Amino acid sequence: MSKNNLFASFAIILLGFASCQSGNQPQAGKSPMPFPVQKIKESNVTTYKEYAANIEGVQNIEIRPKVDGYVSQIFVDEGQQVQKGQLLFKLSAETLNQQANAAKANIHVAEAKVVSSQVEVDKVKPLVKKNIISPVQLKTAESNLHAAKAQLIAAKAQYQNAKENLEYTIIKSPVDGIIGNIPFKVGSLVGRTENQPLTTVSNIKNVYAYFTLNEKQLLQFNRQLNGSSVNEKIKQLPEVELVLADGSLYDQKGKIETINGMVNPRTGSIRYRAIFPNPNNLLRSGISGKVKIPNRVKNIILLPQKSTFELQGKKFVYLVDKENKIKSKEVSIDLATDTHYIVSNGVESGQKFVLDGLIKLREGMEIIPQTENNTQSNAAFSKK
């Protein structure tokens, strides 16, 4: 046998041996694969429902002029914190000064007339007693005195009115708060008929969060609470939380204070008001957020969203039977959260389901279950 034939025969023997070795091993992919599984059990959770809210200070006072005049001085700036009684604006109103001076002069004229009338009465009285002159003259003199006194009262009232109008040119803050927008500048003509206020002072030591519920939500909300009156129901409500516009959670909790007594016929909604403390003035009037209302739910079934798959608009989960084979099962979802589903029907406590890796699974496939700790209980969720 030639050397080439010898090498060829030896190669054939090696290939046959390798083929036999390969045939003795099971084919890859047919043996069960490990998958994480978890046992279903009932849990107690706190769910949250979120409602869009508008934030307002407990007092938003529009500062408006009571008299017409030019803005001569502005003593504050937008966003400044002010105290009750602090000077805000000064108006220039020469007409009011003139009116006050004229009213004051009228008082002196009326006082002089009262004195003159009193002198006339005092002169006539003894003459009437001596029957030197007619009593009619005394009555006339007394009548003139009464008229003079009335004119003095009217003059003093006019002066007081002019003085108050003049004082209205000095505008002070009625409450502690934060200055809002100041649309007018020094020199602007303002008056009582102006649509825009000079500014707004917002008392934001506490703030109100206004939000609405539709009729269906209102009925569900009220059925969860005991009590024969609205006030009794409100007292049972838990503290609420506030989600700010940037998605962060406000560090102070609030309390629902009032529920409007009427449903808005145009929108079919009813207005709620919650109050939040604002010690650091973080919240300002006009901002928006979301009020989170907690609801403690007991003995419910939770499934991680990653453990479900969707088919024709329905949700399914893979259950694991005693033989470690999987079977898809449709589930009914009551509430969707960021990471979990609250399931009302389809699965029962004690059943096992595949936790992750669903894309690799097929109906009836056998797996190697790998148990993970169940971390469902006592969780808290927010409604999407």
Q: How many CA atoms lie within 13 A of 255 on its CB side?
A: 8
Higher pLDDT: 25 or 42? It is: 42
Does position 73 have pLDDT exceeding 60, yes or no?
yes
Task: Round to whole Å and give the CA distance between 90 and 169.
Answer: 5
The answer to which of 86-90, 128-132, 240-244 has the lowest mean pLDDT is 128-132
Task: Round to whole Å and give the CA distance between 52 and 40.
Answer: 34
pLDDT of 104: 85
- Mean pLDDT value of segment 240-252: 94
Do the Cβ atoms of 383 and 339 come closer than 8 Å?
no
Do the Cβ atoms of 276 and 289 come closer than 8 Å?
no
Specify the residue for token string 């009551």: 334
Cα 212 to Cα 6, 28, 271, 286, 310, distances in angstroms = 93, 60, 4, 16, 33
Q: Which helix (H) or strand (E) holds 309?
A: strand 308-311
Does position 241 have pLDDT exceeding 90, yes or no?
yes
For residue 366, the SS3 value is strand
pLDDT tier at 21 (50, 70, 90 boundaries)? very low
* Other beta carbons within 10 Å of 145: 20
Do the Cβ atoms of 278 and 204 come closer than 8 Å?
yes
70-86: string of b/e by CB count within 10 Å (b at 16+)?
bbeebebeeeeebeeeb
Q: What angle do CA 315, 321, 323 make, to 5 degrees?
A: 145
- Dig out the tokens for 323 from the structure: 């033989």
Do the Cβ atoms of 72 and 324 come closer than 8 Å?
no
Do the Cβ atoms of 100 and 127 come closer than 8 Å?
no
pLDDT of 372: 65
pLDDT of 26: 41
For the chain, the average pLDDT equals 84
Calculate the dihedral angle through the C-alpha atoms of 8, 12, 14, 20, rounding to the nearest 10 degrees: 180
What is the gyration radius of the CA atoms in the chain, in angstroms?
Answer: 43
Task: Round to whole Å and give the CA distance between 180 and 330.
Answer: 56
Instruction: Give the CATH fold of the 33-45+298-382 domain.
Output: 2.40.420
Q: What is the pLDDT of residues 276-292, one digit of tens each?
A: 999 988 998 889 999 99
What is the residue extent of each domain of the chain? 33-45+298-382, 50-58+203-296, 66-190
- Mean pLDDT value of segment 340-365: 91
Task: Round to whole Å and give the CA distance between 120 and 204.
Answer: 64
Q: What is the pLDDT of residues 215-225, one digit of tens each?
A: 887 777 777 67
- Mean pLDDT value of segment 56-75: 92
Q: What percent of the chain has pLDDT over 90?
A: 43
Does position 76 have pLDDT exceeding 60, yes or no?
yes
Does position 156 have pLDDT exceeding 60, yes or no?
yes
- Mean pLDDT value of segment 231-260: 89
Does position 214 have pLDDT exceeding 90, yes or no?
no
pLDDT of 82: 93
Instruction: Give the CATH fold of the 50-58+203-296 domain.
Output: Elongation Factor Tu (Ef-tu); domain 3 (2.40.30)
Cα 305 to Cα 87, 247, 376, distances in angstroms = 59, 22, 12
Do the Cβ atoms of 307 and 319 come closer than 8 Å?
no
Does position 20 have pLDDT exceeding 70, yes or no?
no
* Other beta carbons within 10 Å of 247: 7
Q: What is the pLDDT of residues 318-338, one digit of tens each?
A: 999 999 999 999 999 888 777
Max CA pair span of the chain: 184
Helix 94-129 vs helix 135-167: crossing angle, to nearest 10: 160
Q: What is the pLDDT of residues 120-138, one digit of tens each?
A: 888 888 887 888 888 888 8
The answer to which of 41-45, 92-96, 200-204 has the lowest mean pLDDT is 92-96
pLDDT of 138: 82
pLDDT of 379: 46
Does position 355 have pLDDT exceeding 80, yes or no?
yes
pTM for this predicted structure: 0.61
* Other beta carbons within 10 Å of 382: 17
Higher pLDDT: 21 or 55? It is: 55
